[in-house]
Structure 1
Amino acid sequence: MALLLYRLGKFSYRHRWLVISLWLAVLLGMGGAAAAFHGTMSNNFQIPGTETQRMLDKLKKELPESSGGSAGIVFEAGEAGFTPAGKTAVGTAMTELRTLPDVQGTVDPFETQAQLDGAPAEISAAEAKLAAGQAELDASRTQLAAGQSQLAAAEQQMAAAGLPAEAIRAQLAPQRAQLAEGQAKLDAGAKEAADGAAALALGKRQLTASEGMRFVSTDGRAAIAQVQFKTSVNGLTPAVRQQVQDIVHGVSSAGVTALASKEITEDVSQLFGVSEIVGIAVAALALIVMLGTLIAAGLPLLMALIGVAVGVGGTFALTGVVDMSSISPMLALMLGLAVGIDYSLFIVNRHRGQLLAGMDPEESAALATGTSGNAVLFAGLTVVIALAALVVPGLPFLAVMGLSAAATVAVAVVVSLTLTPAVLSLIGRRLVSNRAWAKAARHNAEPGHEAADLERAEKRSSGGWGGLVTRHPWTALLAGVVLLGVLALPASQLRLALPDGGSEPVDSQAFKAYDLTRQSFGEGMTGPIVVVGEFPAGLSEDEARNKQFDVADELRSVDNVIAAAPLALSEDRRTAIFQVIPKEGPASASTVQVVSELRAKGKEIRESTGVTIGLTGQTAGNVDVSEKLGAALPPYLAIVVGLSLILLLLVFRSIVVPLLATGGFLLSLAAAFGAVVAVYQWGWLGAVFDVANPGAVLSFLPIILIGVLFGLAMDYQVFITSGMRESFMHGEDAKHAVRSGFRHAAAVVTAAAIIMVSVFAGFIFSHLTMVRPLGFAMAFGVLVDAFVVRMTIVPAVMYLLGGKAWWLPRWLDKLLPDADVEGASLQRTGAETLDKELVS
């Protein structure tokens, strides 16, 4: 592999304009495709096959007008509450929203609250009217009975007087007709009273079902409206979201503040924010410090940006045909920037060192591609494998995420191996500053500098951090393990959920809407649960309505349920929708329990009412996603670890090194989980990281972190350990090879880690709050993995083991192909031989 990459580097160096032109064409092509074919991103994390998705599909078929997504808008008035003008303004805004093509309907909070408030009085009036009617019926019934008695007595008197029967009937016919008419009126009145009693009973049940629900706060200072869309909220374009906000914000002219919920305000169309740019600026500063010139520092940045533009551009081009969440291009962007800078840096740094040592520029670029590029290839391969393995859990949105990020990393690797040597050919000697050239020339002119260089290298190997670790390996090992163990302790309390409005920045409209809703109406109103009921066939309208209330009564009996009310019934009376308001918010542990208990209640409801229920909506869907992701973690971790052991066994031809690399990765992973729980779930250092409302951790963070951190951890393992193996393969003592290999790799790995941490840290304050804990987890994970595991624990263990670290059974040694990741074949063969081979 080293030989192949050497040839690739030399080809790219010699044919720089061809390579640059090809990449320019690819870049323009991807940009054009992204502009022409991109669609709308969303944060739809539904999983096909779940109950949530099945119920949603059922609604689309049988109650399409209720199958779209809904979102809340909270209106806030001043101390005096809503004025008539304010109420009118809100009503006008609701009416205007209903005219939008994407809006199915709206719920006016004041009209709805008036109905709820007036319901008891209406019921009382209906009861009074029913009682009065009953009294009239009783009086009429008594009067009718008296008339019938009088008729019977008259008939007896006439018969006793000897009048013929026909004469009696004829004479009493008017009285009989009058009594029959009275009986008919009495029957009609009785039926009307029975219907009134039935309606009254339904009204009372409706009132009971509505208990606990309010649309205008008790203090009269807040009102919450609902907007029903024709499609899912995730499918709304940024233009529609903005149009909705513009309409409702028009109420400000009446002294009312409108706050749209997270579902409406969330804009996933923008990738870059200020914090991301700051992170890249810090990475650029680290490059300048390390490489010494703006040109040298700008080269890795340029390579990373080209790789990201191609990878993320391709991802955007697919949004028109693939349902893609906003996190997908963001993850690709984060990883593409981080690994793109690092991979190019490894090659550029080696080339720079070889130039200063007097090597021919073309030979140096080719050799750097064959050695450091070889490590880049295998390091990139580990990242690609880890990300592509996100397909295994069978979660569509996660598979898209993993594949888009894996493709971007693959592009970054190819850019580093081809475009980097081509641009190095274009830059030439300008890669190194004049001061560095002058210093190198003076040094190389000194007689006997080779021996002095060796002595200086030996001194540096035994000094610095690497020397300290290898002088006290047991102390370094124990300190590193204990530190990571302590950091990992909070991980045992990890709780997963998808974010709600409470996770947004405190100054955002989404958080203010969430907070006002929570304070004025209860936290459960921020995330109601939708229940779908399947009714038996052949029910009358009254029977179906009573079934609705029977089911609502059962739903309300679940712990931590504040209210459960029927919302809609299909025309064939076979499908009904219920809204359940939990006590706490959608991401809380109690609401997760409510979802579980509601599903468990389904069997009891079916047995008592004959109605089959299922849950859908955002809250239930989030719970489904979190549970599925939690269940997918162990098999995914097993797959990633298994693949890593095989790949590292091939790369390093050692039993110990893959086990050490994997064990170190697990320590870093646990520490990263612990830090995320402490900051985002417990709220430690919340003021620093802008965590105003600590809660459950992003549900797909663990599985993404496993894939990403594993790949990046293996990056540093490859770069650190390949230097040790290179020294060992060139005849150095195993323990000495640990020191010299560490010395060769430490500076560039340190710079690479700082760069990667800087890029990831830039996303900690991203405008997309869903990305923030992911950026923190990656930054922290890379920090502890690079400096605690790879640069402390690994050299300590390798030094303690000595030659045993490279032990491999002979039979396995014969079976494994030689990947030559350290480029030893290039060193042995020599550049001249390779050049002759290329010419021939």
Structure 2
Amino acid sequence: MRAARWSAEHPWRAILAWVAFLAVAVGCAAAIPTHETTDADYRVGESGRADAMVADAGLTPPDTENVLITARGEHLDGAAAEQAAAAVVAAARSAEHVAGVGDPQWSPDHAAMLVSVELAPDTEDVSDLQRAVAEVQGEYDGLRIRQAGDLTIDEAINDRVGDDLGSAETTSLPVTLLLMLLAFGALIAAGIPVLLAVSSVAATIGVMAPLSHLIPSDQTTSSMIVLIGMAVGVDYSLFYLKREREERAKGRTTLDAVEVAAQTSGHSILVSGGAVIAAMAGLFVVDDATFNSLAIGSIVVVAVAVLGSITVLPALLVKLGRWSDRPRVPLLWRVNRRIGRGGLSRRLLGPVVRHPLVALGLSCLVVVGLAVPALGMKTHSATLDTLPTSIPEVQTVKAISVSFPADEGASANVVVEADAAAQPAVEAALTDLTDRAVATGHFVASGRGVQTSADGTTSLVVLGMPYVETDERVNGAVRELRDELVPAALGDLDGEHAVGGWAAEDLDFAEHQQGRLGLVIGFVLLLTMLIMVTTFRSVVLAGVSTVLNLASVCVAFGVVTLVFQHGWFHEPLGFTTPGFVVDWIPLFVLVVLVGLSMDYHVFVLSRVREHVRNGLPTRLAVERGITDTAGVVTSAAAVMVSVFAIFATLSMIEMKMMGVGLSAAILLDATLVRLVMLPAILVLLGERSWWPGRPQQPRGVVVSEPEPAYELSGR
């Protein structure tokens, strides 16, 4: 309140300070290079130890590109395929940034040929190789000659992600502005929340540049900042602006209206921001480079949005005065005035307040029905199956994995570190291990043999698997390799060994995350509950909010499981179901949803408590508080749902999962939870809702006078 009063009394200073802050932040982004995460930051468990051993020994395989030759029709002309392969070899050897070209190899069924191209160290551009392969393709119309590898598929994915996020950002701004126009009916009032949200996002991206040298920045962090920043930035401005507008409509001066808004909505914004920050801090518990980066980005953007809401926003409102309601959109303005405050919610709340037990029972049935599918949720790391099939390189890699499973299917690495004098014994043991592994039927020899470092102290063997990465047998094969095969073959060696590779990394990450998931849930719920207890001085309200948050999270998990694991609505959403949920999605959705849903609960409960302090009984305070906040919460929820729904339309399936889960849960949270479950529970609890003590009006606080009871009940 003091910050808002100072900003309102010195508006130009507050506005200029905010502009200066933005300038400094943008300057940081321009002057300080962002420190991004590296592969070493993602090492976990035994696979991380194996990767470190391989990297220290200089055995990290070079980037490669594979050229696949197949028939356009049903049968492959062997002679033509061999001629084309020879042409590819010759063309690749003459291309830039090529260190070596392997001999063409036939697939076991002679339905395809593969040419592997080893790239020079630090290569980032393979366009010359792509042109060479394209020229060979032009000479053989009856064959399909396709290229895919480390660099080309990364480039294709990055291009697609960039296009998706650019499309989402371009679409979200006009959609948000349109929703604000519907909410306010005036152009300037609609633009203020969007302006604050955009400036908060810009400032945060600038501040993240120096912070990235403390916590390395993941490539997805910028998208997270935009997502959270637009949601909370618009919400906080909306809460504040609506209350200031409401107080002006009662005859208060602009300065007095801003002060009341600071005492009420401003306080709610601080509490909501603290709850979101507490929830996002739970990501640090996972101890993962990506989650650490997402956590710091989210925390900073929420803090910046809160700062703007209690400083520059009051200053803008004072300077604009009644001009914030100009220029009016005639039709929208009249509709807003005619509907009034909570016009639709009054009709919905009536039956809930009269029959709270029935309303609560029916709403619980809906929540349980949507949440039950989450009990069968299967998670897995992102694979080729989660990438858009419209990316040509993805199709090529899938085709290679079918014809050459040892090269492109799941695989595991066994690394041994011992004295150089023991190298012959190590090589013999690894050869024996390969024979044992192949004999199980779960592994295939890669054909690369035992690789040894230049100093002879580290040896490596790669074991392929005849399974795709998502096959349930992959994890079992890795466990068998670690628990049985490796100890049997390498147990007598005097040295250190570890099993790594992509399959082992996926298993270790899943086990690491499962071990931390319970800690994250406990941390987030406990911290947000403490915030609610401190804010409302009610253990009961804190418990109710926590239970309702969990209900929304369970619904999100259930909807994501139905859509992406079981394939519901896959055609309208434009994806092929992978049969699982990407492993980081549930944890991410949990913390984001708990944080954002607290916005509504804090704002609504603050208004209910305000009426209780003014002397209303709890039943009427609940009805009036929810009615008063209905328009604001509906508008805020519409913004969040629309922004997240945009992500559900993108081509990357991970973005779809995040968008569908968050938009569905927030839609339910702002409707069924807020308009049915919350009022039903509070009415049933009555005065016990405020245990251990009913809120009392503090001295010196300016609040609105309660309206007559007949306006609340409709009599």
Question: How would you bin the TM-score normalised by the shorter chain?
Answer: 0.7 to 0.9
- In the alignment, structure 1 residue 344 sits paired with structure 2 residue 237: yes
* 2:584 maps to amino acid: F
Which among 278, 282, 291 is matched to residue 385 of structure 1? 278
Matches for 1:649-668 after TM superposition, within 5 Å? 649-668=533-552
* 1:398 maps to amino acid: F
Report if the CA contact (8 A) 2:381-2:583 is conserved.
yes
CA distance 1:470–1:796, change in 2 (3 Å): same
CA distance 1:299–1:265, change in 2 (3 Å): same
- In the alignment, structure 1 residue 688 sits paired with structure 2 residue 579: no
CA distance 1:540–1:611, change in 2 (3 Å): closer
* Corresponding residue of 1:556: 438
* Corresponding residue of 2:147: 258
Which among 21, 30, 36 is matched to residue 25 of structure 2? 30
The C-alpha deviation readout for 1:770-814, integer Å capped at 9, x for no partner, is 33322222222212222222222111110111111112169xx9x
* Corresponding residue of 1:827: 702
* Corresponding residue of 1:19: 14
* Corresponding residue of 2:712: none
Report if the CA contact (8 A) 2:36-2:217 is conserved.
yes
Aligned-partner Cα distance in 1 for 2:603–2:3: 21
Aligned-partner Cα distance in 1 for 2:216–2:568: 36
Long gaps (5+) in structure 2: 706-715
Task: Using the TM superposition, give the Cα deviation of residue 377 of structure 1 relative to its aligned residue in structure 2, in angstroms.
Answer: 0.8
CA distance 1:825–1:328, change in 2 (3 Å): farther
* Corresponding residue of 1:167: none
* Corresponding residue of 1:732: 616
Report if the CA contact (8 A) 1:558-1:598 is conserved.
no
Which among 108, 116, 126 is matched to residue 225 of structure 1? 116
* Corresponding residue of 1:837: none
Task: Using the TM superposition, give the Cα deviation of residue 529 of structure 1 relative to its aligned residue in structure 2, in angstroms.
Answer: 2.3
Task: Using the TM superposition, give the Cα deviation of residue 96 of structure 1 relative to its aligned residue in structure 2, in angstroms.
Answer: 5.4
Report if the CA contact (8 A) 2:87-2:136 is conserved.
yes
Which among 610, 621, 645 is matched to residue 761 of structure 1? 645
Task: Using the TM superposition, give the Cα deviation of residue 347 of structure 1 relative to its aligned residue in structure 2, in angstroms.
Answer: 0.7
Which among 484, 499, 503 is matched to residue 615 of structure 1? 499
Aligned-partner Cα distance in 2 for 1:691–1:229: 36
Task: Using the TM superposition, give the Cα deviation of residue 32 of structure 1 relative to its aligned residue in structure 2, in angstroms.
Answer: 2.8
Aligned-partner Cα distance in 1 for 2:629–2:94: 65
- In the alignment, structure 1 residue 402 sits paired with structure 2 residue 289: no
CA distance 1:45–1:765, change in 2 (3 Å): farther
* 2:542 maps to amino acid: P
Task: Using the TM superposition, give the Cα deviation of residue 525 of structure 1 relative to its aligned residue in structure 2, in angstroms.
Answer: 2.2
**SS in structure 2 opposite 1:770?**
helix
The C-alpha deviation readout for 1:738-796, integer Å capped at 9, x for no partner, is 10001011111111111111111222234654333222222222122222222221111
* Corresponding residue of 2:85: 87
- In the alignment, structure 1 residue 793 sits paired with structure 2 residue 682: no
**SS in structure 1 opposite 2:298?**
helix
* 2:458 maps to amino acid: T
Long gaps (5+) in structure 1: 114-214, 445-452, 831-840
Report if the CA contact (8 A) 2:186-2:333 is conserved.
no
Report if the CA contact (8 A) 2:59-2:453 is conserved.
no
- In the alignment, structure 1 residue 333 sits paired with structure 2 residue 223: no
**SS in structure 2 opposite 1:762?**
helix
Taking only the aligned residue pairs, the percentage that are identical comes to 25
Aligned-partner Cα distance in 1 for 2:347–2:303: 35
Aligned-partner Cα distance in 1 for 2:690–2:666: 26
The C-alpha deviation readout for 1:413-457, integer Å capped at 9, x for no partner, is 11121121222234332222476999999xx9xxxxxxxx9xx98
Report if the CA contact (8 A) 2:467-2:474 is conserved.
yes
* Corresponding residue of 2:708: none
**SS in structure 2 opposite 1:87?**
helix
Report if the CA contact (8 A) 2:47-2:504 is conserved.
yes
* 1:712 maps to amino acid: L
CA distance 1:241–1:414, change in 2 (3 Å): farther
* 1:330 maps to amino acid: S
CA distance 1:216–1:330, change in 2 (3 Å): same
* Corresponding residue of 1:355: 248
* 1:14 maps to amino acid: E
Report if the CA contact (8 A) 1:245-1:260 is conserved.
no
Aligned-partner Cα distance in 1 for 2:65–2:488: 31
CA distance 1:754–1:540, change in 2 (3 Å): closer
Report if the CA contact (8 A) 2:556-2:665 is conserved.
yes
Name whichever of 359-368 and 45-54 sits farther off: 45-54
The C-alpha deviation readout for 1:591-610, integer Å capped at 9, x for no partner, is 12222222112222223777
The C-alpha deviation readout for 1:530-582, integer Å capped at 9, x for no partner, is 222345653475x5554332121122244532445525223454422222222
Which among 287, 305, 315 is matched to residue 412 of structure 1? 305
Report if the CA contact (8 A) 2:416-2:495 is conserved.
yes
**SS in structure 1 opposite 2:559?**
helix
Aligned-partner Cα distance in 1 for 2:646–2:456: 54
Which among 190, 214, 217 is matched to residue 297 of structure 1? 190
CA distance 1:463–1:518, change in 2 (3 Å): same
Report if the CA contact (8 A) 1:279-1:760 is conserved.
no
Task: Using the TM superposition, give the Cα deviation of residue 405 of structure 1 relative to its aligned residue in structure 2, in angstroms.
Answer: 1.1
Report if the CA contact (8 A) 1:558-1:597 is conserved.
no
CA distance 1:594–1:274, change in 2 (3 Å): same
Report if the CA contact (8 A) 2:93-2:101 is conserved.
no
CA distance 1:719–1:794, change in 2 (3 Å): same
Report if the CA contact (8 A) 2:62-2:118 is conserved.
no
- In the alignment, structure 1 residue 9 sits paired with structure 2 residue 9: no
* Corresponding residue of 2:263: 370
* Corresponding residue of 1:582: 465
* Corresponding residue of 1:508: 391
* Corresponding residue of 2:179: 286
Aligned-partner Cα distance in 2 for 1:43–1:265: 20
Question: Based on CA coordinates, which of the two structures has the bigger radius of gyration?
Answer: 1
CA RMSD, Structure 1 to Structure 2 (Å): 3.5
Report if the CA contact (8 A) 1:544-1:573 is conserved.
no
Task: Using the TM superposition, give the Cα deviation of residue 632 of structure 1 relative to its aligned residue in structure 2, in angstroms.
Answer: 0.4
Report if the CA contact (8 A) 1:39-1:320 is conserved.
yes
Q: Give the TM-score of the pair, scaled to structure 2.
A: 0.87
* 1:621 maps to amino acid: E
Matches for 1:436-455 after TM superposition, within 5 Å? none
Aligned-partner Cα distance in 2 for 1:285–1:800: 38
Aligned-partner Cα distance in 2 for 1:706–1:438: 40
- In the alignment, structure 1 residue 480 sits paired with structure 2 residue 363: yes
* Corresponding residue of 1:836: none
The C-alpha deviation readout for 1:332-351, integer Å capped at 9, x for no partner, is 22111111111111111112
Aligned residues: 690
* Corresponding residue of 2:72: 78
Matches for 1:585-596 after TM superposition, within 5 Å? 585-596=468-479
The C-alpha deviation readout for 1:12-44, integer Å capped at 9, x for no partner, is 233333222222222222223223333475685
Task: Using the TM superposition, give the Cα deviation of residue 247 of structure 1 relative to its aligned residue in structure 2, in angstroms.
Answer: 6.4
